[in-house]
Amino acid sequence: MQVKDKVVVVTGGARGIGRALCVRFAAEGAKAVVVADIQQAGIDEVVALISDQANTQTQALGMITDVSRESDVQALVNKTTDAFGHIDLFCANAGIFTAGDENVDDEAWQRIWDINVMGHIYAARAVLPGMLARGEGYLLNTASAAGLLSQIGSAPYAVTKHAAVGFAEWLSITYGNRGIKVSVLCPQAVRTDMTANTRGGGVAGVDGMLEPDALAQTVVETLAEERFLCLPHPEVLTYVQRKAGDYDRWLGGMRRLQDRFADQYKDR
């Protein structure tokens, strides 16, 4: 997919990765970029950034959206289709991090599940009927390298990001022959609010901290090639291959990694 002239929706679009994607999609000549987030001030800022870009013809629209509420996601899709007729690319990008082990309280487990997993499911429920009727559409679901590997210091993040990858795989398998393209974004450390309180991005920063703009470049390239895995840190593919090649050896290496980094997550 080329983003030029496309109608794009980005959840979690007011900050970090989502903000970078919104601005980059506009720079690529998207017909419209819809910025969805829970922060009105951030939405307004990104809409203004898009509108102020030199020579931009992209229409920018903002909407308060809590992706853990299905009614909010459906309203987002309805408002976008009312305004622009259809959605070409839906980026289910909103996500949160919760540190801790199996003893994280049930309320926190439910919150991260509702955002990191159900947010993707609600998006698919809302946007797929229109895409399937047209015989085309693209879903970009933001997960994490943690969804392919694991997350030191956070059982909830590891579990929910694995689920997000699994759901994206299922979507691609189920609808790939009906015109629906799916990519799953799996970065390591990116310079966002989520990594702000870690030293160098924590364990996810072992291969360097990536700037959101650089990640957006990889996303554009992945969409153009219509590849499932979007890996801003290419090292992740090597780690996945090692994991599949010798699971027990990989687990041993992860235990050693935990010994190096677990203390960084105790107070998060």
The catalytic residues are 157
Q: Name 206's bridge partners.
A: none
Count of beta carbons in the 10 Å neighbourhood of residue 217: 13
Report the relative pairing of strands 180-185 and 59-64 from DSSP bridges: unpaired
Closest CA to 219 of 17, 26, 61: 17
Structure tokens at 37: 């987030």
Which one-letter amino acid corresponds to residue 77? V
Under 8 Å between Cβ of 214 and 24: no
Q: Which residues contact 111 (CB under 8 A, 6 or more apart)?
A: 68, 96, 98
Count of beta carbons in the 10 Å neighbourhood of residue 75: 16
Whole-angstrom distance, CA of residue 219 vs CA of residue 84: 23
Q: Which residues contact 233 (CB under 8 A, 6 or more apart)?
A: 145, 187, 188, 207, 208, 210
Under 8 Å between Cβ of 216 and 187: no
